[in-house]
Amino acid sequence: MQDSTMHEVGIMESAMSLVEQHAAAGAGRRVGRVVVRIGALAGVDNQALRFAFDVVSKGTLAEGADFEIEDVPVTAYCLGCEREFEGAGGDFVFACPDCGDFSGEVRRGREMELSRIELI
């Protein structure tokens, strides 16, 4: 496994621990779906995360479950205009589309969270 995939495996091992806890609390029911939210700036490779889910879920109550990734775009805030706006492309410097001022206040896009677990 490449180093970049090892990062996603570690993330998925942590998530799977929570998934297993919730499944056990639900009387050991099987997991039908796992949904994670990943921000564009989180440094996570979605394809590697999908691979990690397949590997880490083997032999668990989540084996064979659907796995969804909700992408969270980068959202910055312009102090001058007092509005949020989406960062363009893969840029890390965000200019307000209205006034052109640069913003260093990132409001969304760093998320890496277990959003939903559906038991069946």
Question: Do residues 34 and 62 lie in contact, with contact meaning Cβ atoms separated by under 8 Å?
Answer: yes
Q: Where are the domains of the chain?
A: 3-72+109-119
Global confidence as pTM: 0.84
Q: 106 — alpha (psi -120 to 50), left (phi > 0) or beta?
A: beta
Q: What is the 3-state secondary structure (H, E, C) of 47-106?
A: HHHHHHHHHHCCCCCCCCCEEEEEEECCEEEECCCCEEEECCCCCCCEECCCCCCEECCE
Residues of the chain with pLDDT > 70: what percent? Answer: 92
Non-local (6+) Cβ contacts of 12 within 8 A are 49, 52, 53, 55, 56
Q: What local confidence, expressed as pLDDT, does residue 87 receive? A: 83
What pLDDT score was predicted for residue 69? 98
Confidence of residue 104 (pLDDT cuts 50, 70, 90): confident
Say which residue, 2 or 67, is predicted with more confidence: 67
Q: Topology of 3-72+109-119 in CATH?
A: hypothetical protein PF0899 fold (3.30.2320)
Res 4 pLDDT > 90 = no
pLDDT digits (tens, 9 = 90+) for 39-97: 999 999 999 999 999 999 999 999 999 999 999 999 999 999 999 999 875 556 789 99
Query: So what's the pLDDT on residue 29?
Result: 83
